[in-house]
Structures are given as structure tokens and as C-alpha cells.
Amino acid sequence: AQSVTQPDIHITVSEGASLELRCNYSYGATPYLFWYVQSPGQGLQLLLKYFSGDTLVQGIKGFEAEFKRSQSSINLRKPSVHWSDAAEYFCAVGLISGGYNKLIFGAGTRLAVHP
């Protein structure tokens, strides 16, 4: 069965430090992969998506992700974190199932940023 694992429930970094959020997926083929961000009390906003091609994907807000097929992973990175990046981050696998677009979400990683 398809699944998404985000191993880190909580991560705390200092402002200005680099960030890497991990995501592993289980799927038989190369899936569509997404990273979303959710600020408290808000909906999810798409940061970036990977379909195929270059394994390094650029997103919004200075985020990027690297797809590694051999590790079934797509880790989210940012070189220098800002206090406004404190939020919850969700990784998702996109499938075509029964003719509709299905997203399977990981449990999320909550990011705290220390000044």
C-alpha cells in the first residue's frame, strides 16, 4: 500500500540556520510528490511539487527539495530559516486512483524557530 513517512514530528532550529525536513514514501512507481505548509489555523499552501525530470526542485518562499529515487525520499530544504517559517509541513504522494487525483499525506512535521 502507498504511504508517506515524515520521521520527525517536531523540529526546532535557530533563525538563520539551515533546515532539512525528511520525507519517505512507499509507492511502486515514480509518484507525484508535494510539499505543503500550514500556518496555525490556516489551510495548506503548496510549496513545491515534483513530477519528473531534475531531481532538485525549487519552490516558493526559498524552499527547495531533492528527490532521491534510490532512497524513495524527497527532503525539503532551506538554507536560512526565518521566524515566519514556523509552521507545520506536510509531504504528500499524488496518485491517480479510480480516475481521480488522490493525495496521501504524511503526519506532518511541526517546525519551531528560535530567535
Nearest to 87 by CA among 44, 38, 46: 38
Number of residues near other proteins (by CB under 8 A):
25
String of contacts with other proteins for each residue 24-53, x by CB under 8 A: --------x-x-x----xxxxxx--x-x--
Asked if 70 is part of the footprint of other proteins (rule: CB under 8 A), the reply reads: no
Between CA 86 and CA 19 the distance in angstroms is 11
42 or 71, CB closer to other proteins?
42
Phi-psi region of 101 (alpha: psi -120 to 50; beta: other; left: phi over 0): beta
Using the minimum distance from each CB to other proteins, give the nearer residue, 19 or 31. 31
Tell me if 11 contacts other proteins by CB under 8 A: no
β-pairing, 10-14 with 109-114? parallel
Q: How far apart (Å, rounded) are the C-alpha atoms in residues 109 and 10?
A: 6
Alpha carbon distance 67, 56 (integer Å): 6
For residue 100, state whether it binds other proteins (rule: CB under 8 A): yes
Please report how close the Cβ of residue 97 comes to other proteins at its closest, in angstroms: 9
Q: What is the contact surface with other proteins in residues (CB under 8 A)?
A: 32, 34, 36, 41-46, 49, 51, 90, 92, 94-96, 99-103, 105-108
